[in-house]
Structure formats: C-alpha cells, structure tokens
Amino acid sequence: MMQRFDEAARLMGLEESVMNVLKVPAKAVAVNLPITMDDGSIRVFEGFRVVHSTLLGPSKGGVRYSMDVNEDEVRALAAWMTWKCAVVNIPYGGAKGGIKCDPRNMSQGELERLTRAYTLSMSEIFGPDTDIPAPDMGTGQQEMAWIVDEYSKIKNQNTWAVVTGKPLILGGSLGRVEATGRGVMVSCRSAMAKLGMNPTESSCVVQGFGNVGSISAKLISMLGVKIVGISDVSGGYHNPDGINVEEAMAFVKNSASRSLEGYTGGRKISNAELLTLPCDILVPAAMEDQITLENASDIKARLIVEGANGPTTAEADPILQEKGIMVVPDILANAGGVTVSYFEWVQNRLGYYWTEERVNRRADRVMKQAFDSVHGTAQKFNTTMRLAAYIVALDKVAATFNIRGKF
C-alpha cells in the first residue's frame, strides 16, 4: 500500500506535508476479548478497528475474521478503503476491522459471543455517522445481524445504518450479496472493451471461490467468457473446455466441508499452478500477496482484474507492466461491494427500499464512471491503471483535506 502510495504521490506532485497526513491512520484501536467457549474454557481474542480517514465522510470498511489478522494488515486494508471510496466517488472515509480467529473451527454460539463482545468494545467507534462496518473475509450476513442487534441494544434504538451487508429482513439491500462480484464483472467488461477482446473468444481463471470469486466467475461467464480454472482452500481445478460455475457453486453449497474438495468438473491442480494457467483474464479473488516477484513473469493472462484486496505485491507490478498486462486494481475492481453498501446505508436512512434492478443499474453506472475516470487518468499521466486509481483517489482526498483546513 505504502509503495504505491509513494509512487502515485510523487507522480502527481502531492505536497510532502499532505502525504505525511494521509500515510497514517487517524485512529487505531486494539482490544482483547475474553470469550467463553462451548467447552467452558475462556479464550482471549485479539480484535482491531483502524479508522484511516474520515475526511470524505464516516469511515467505511469490513470486519475480517482470520488467523492472519494483525494490526499491520488491518492498517493497510483501512487505507485501501479510503482510496476505494474516493475512486468510486462515494461520501465515505476508510476503515477496517478484524479479529484474529479461525471462524471455520468455531461454533455459531462462539462466533455470536465473539461478534457481540467486539461490537460492545467498539460501540464508541461504530455509528451511522462515524464508522460503518461491513462483511469481509470470514464474515457475512449473520455477523452483521449480530452487530446491528448488539449495537441497537447498547444505544437503546434500532440503528440499521450502523452496519451494511445485513440480511434483507434486517434492513439489507437487494443486490448487496452479489455487488462485489458484479463490480468485478463490470470492470472486466470495460477493460475487455478497451483491449478489443471479444468475450466469447476469451477464457478466464478465477482464484478464490468465496462470495467474490464465485459470483465474479458466474457473472463473467454470463458475458460469454469461458471459465477454465477455479480454486479455493482445497486447491485448483482446471478445465480447458469450460467449468460450469453454477454447478460448482451448488457443489460447494451441498458439500460437508463447504469447499470444492472432491469437485470433479476439472483436473485437480495446485493453487500455484492455477495462477499461471494459459488464459486471457485472471481474477485473483482470494487474498493478499498472491501475484509476486516469483510468479509474475509466468502469468499468461493479458488482463488481471483484482477481486481481492492487495492480491499483487508492489514488486510484481513492474513485471506485469513490462509484459503489457492490463491490471484493473483492487481499489477500482472490487469497489462494487462498498458502493452497494453505500446504497444500503442510504436506503436505511430513507426508510425506503429500492428494487434490485435500481440497485444494479446505479452500481453499474458508478463502476463504469470510475473505470473511465481511472483509464483517462492513466492516459493523461502515461501510467498504469493502479497508479492512476491512486492518483484519482489521492487528488480527491488531498483537495478535501486542504479545503477543510487544519489546526
């Protein structure tokens, strides 16, 4: 995050003093949460919430449950949210939260107690006008329902707008579940048009088969693109004749392990092999640091659309650029999720709910405009789509900082 930030700031001539302000988070909170486990023992979980910036509006960003969570990671992810919201032009700052835990090996009861304890400890940070969490890796609608319920009890009033990505019956928005994948598809479609690629003659590999990966794969395949590789924690699956994405999604839903383990719709390969398969489009939608100095030169795709946050390391960027691969960066490509989070928050505050068609139409428009603005900036500065996205974001956040004034 810092490397790209520095590079973009230099390229656009951002003042050093403003750079120093935007480099560091506005607030970082770390808590230790004692939770009673089902066996009666008490375990202490580390939790974080980092508010990177509230210059453009209340801070916004997901809460991640994973054993990899640490304060540094949350700080980078929080800053990415600031840039992401600025790129798609929604009135939010950036934040991120996380709890170091292994949600796959915890019961519903344990997860509920942990989520409620986290909400209580963050109740002075969270708020519809201050900081609005959402789902991220390892969390979904159920965790958001617990957050809204716990927060509403603490504040003694139903406060739907304190969190987004909620279940529909608790003030969620139609289209929110699919929103990130849909934005990835729209970005992919825009990039293909710029590169003169014909969808029906193109193939695509998608890394990760969670909410973002599976829905991106499904919607990209609906453009006519052949999905030739997918993967998840169980490994990769390659089928040059095309994978039936809906069938794979149904397989995961019905499998005991909730993964692709045992899936026979493709030849089993490793996750490392998956990234370098012959294909036209690569969608990394799993986690950070997947495309690296080691494997970047072996990538065959000519277009990369980043569904995950930070899937490409800063060292890999110049290699991809040298190879002439277009990279639609995370802070643009996966911004469809937070865009529809914004629509959910707007609907909660209006008390008036939109049709799915309206949500999708408006989200598609936001994504298309953001893509065009970043593409135009890339041409103007003769740089990559990644640095252009940072320039668009930094320009907006820095201008807001300057006009708001300081102490």
Catalytic positions, please? 96
Minimum CB separation of residue 60 from ligand GLU in Å reads 4
Q: Are strands 203-207 and 226-232 parallel, antiparallel or unpaired?
A: parallel
Of 24-32, 288-296, 337-345, 361-369, the segment contacting ligand GLU by CB under 6 A is: 337-345
DSSP 98: E
Of 45-53, 193-201, 297-305, 336-344, the segment contacting ligand GLU by CB under 6 A is: 336-344
Minimum CB separation of residue 263 from ligand GLU in Å reads 26
Query: With respect to ligand GLU, which residue has the nearer C-beta, 197 or 305?
Result: 305
Minimum CB separation of residue 183 from ligand GLU in Å reads 9
d(CA 254, CA 257): 9
Cross-strand bridge partners of residue 48: 30, 98
Q: Tokens 């230790």 map to which residue?
A: 32
- Residue 386 identity (one-letter amino acid): R
Binding footprint of ligand GLU, residue count (CB under 6 A):
11
DSSP states along 251-267: HHHHSTTSS-TT--SSE
Number of helices and strands (H, E) in the chain?
14, 12
Minimum CB separation of residue 59 from ligand GLU in Å reads 9
List 338, 359, 392, 394, residue binding ligand GLU (CB under 6 A): 338
Query: With respect to ligand GLU, which residue has the nearer C-beta, 90 or 279?
Result: 90
Query: With respect to ligand GLU, which residue has the nearer C-beta, 14 or 162?
Result: 162
- Mask 282-321, x = binds ligand GLU (CB under 6 A)? ---------------------------x------------
Pick out residues in 38-67 that bind ligand GLU (CB under 6 A): 60-62
Minimum CB separation of residue 79 from ligand GLU in Å reads 12
d(CA 68, CA 70): 6
Query: With respect to ligand GLU, which residue has the nearer C-beta, 76 or 230?
Result: 76
d(CA 27, CA 50): 6
List 66, 231, 341, 377, residue binding ligand GLU (CB under 6 A): 341
Length of the chain measured in residues: 407
List 8, 134, 147, 299, residue binding ligand GLU (CB under 6 A): 134
If one asks whether residue 175 binds ligand GLU (CB under 6 A), the answer comes out as: no
If one asks whether residue 164 binds ligand GLU (CB under 6 A), the answer comes out as: yes
If one asks whether residue 139 binds ligand GLU (CB under 6 A), the answer comes out as: no
* H helix intervals, 128-222: 141-155, 176-195, 211-221
Of 99-107, 182-190, 235-243, 332-340, the segment contacting ligand GLU by CB under 6 A is: 332-340
Minimum CB separation of residue 338 from ligand GLU in Å reads 4
Q: What are the Cα distances from residue 208, in Å, to 3, 82, 108, 113, 170?
A: 25, 24, 24, 28, 28
Decide: 56 and 85 in contact? Cβ < 8 Å. Answer: yes
Query: With respect to ligand GLU, which residue has the nearer C-beta, 166 or 238?
Result: 166
Q: Which two tokens stand for residue 114?
A: 């942990």
| CB count in 10 Å sphere of residue 278 | 12
Minimum CB separation of residue 96 from ligand GLU in Å reads 8
Decide: 233 and 198 in contact? Cβ < 8 Å. Answer: no
d(CA 173, CA 161): 11
| CB count in 10 Å sphere of residue 315 | 13
Give kind and range of the element (H or E) at residue 367: helix 356-380
Query: With respect to ligand GLU, which residue has the nearer C-beta, 164 or 190?
Result: 164
Query: With respect to ligand GLU, which residue has the nearer C-beta, 78 or 325?
Result: 78
DSSP states along 33-53: EEEE-TTS-EEEEEEEEEEEE
Decide: 157 and 339 in contact? Cβ < 8 Å. Answer: no
Minimum CB separation of residue 267 from ligand GLU in Å reads 32
- Residue 53 identity (one-letter amino acid): S
List 228, 277, 337, 345, residue binding ligand GLU (CB under 6 A): 337
Of 282-290, 333-341, 350-358, 390-398, the segment contacting ligand GLU by CB under 6 A is: 333-341
Binding site for ligand GLU (CB under 6 A): 60-62, 134, 136, 164, 309, 334, 337-338, 341
